[in-house]
Homo-oligomer: A and B are copies of this chain.
Amino acid sequence: MGSDQIIDRWVPQFRKGLLEFIILLKLQQGAIYGYELAVEIKKLTSIEVAEGTLYPLLNRLKRDCLVTSQWQTAEVGTPRKYYQITPLGLETLAKMKTTWTQTHNSIFNMVMQS
């Protein structure tokens, strides 16, 4: 097996957990609906989020009260469900930022030593 196949299997694992972090970061900048979120994440991070990943994840965040959502209907177009970050979500996001920064620094040091 070549390293490309190995990487293809590794990348989704690498993203696990990271996705929650990225979604909360994006939500911090304002309310957004699911489909647009996937497009934005792809644009910002080159990460393609499958819808089968995104919607269950958003529901998990909602279950844990990190986000809220409500339907928004317009005269034209299909209804959209907009998500907002909650105070608990902001608090959690702050801790994630700390964890992320610490882990990055550790790994960065290891990368530099090589």
Copies of this chain, whole number: 2
Identify A92's interface contact among B6, B92, B106, CB under 8 A.
B6
Q: Is A76 an interface residue when CB atoms closer than 8 A count as contact?
A: no
Q: Assess whether A50 is interfacial by the CB under 8 Å rule.
A: no
A15 closest partner in B (C-beta): B17
Interface residues of A in 53-101 (CB under 8 A from B): 64-66, 88, 91-92, 95-97, 99-100
Are B1 and A64 neighbours in the complex by a CB distance under 8 Å?
yes
Q: Contacts A11-B99, A96-B10 hold; do A88 and B3 have CB atoms under 8 A apart? A: yes
Contact of A17 with B10 at beta-carbon distance under 8 Å, contacts A107-B100, A110-B25 already known: yes
Q: Which residues of B contact A45 (CB under 8 A)?
A: 103, 106-107
Which residues of A (1-41) have their CB < 8 Å from a CB of B? 1-4, 6-7, 10-18, 20-22, 25-26, 28-29
- CB <8 Å contact, A95 and B7: yes
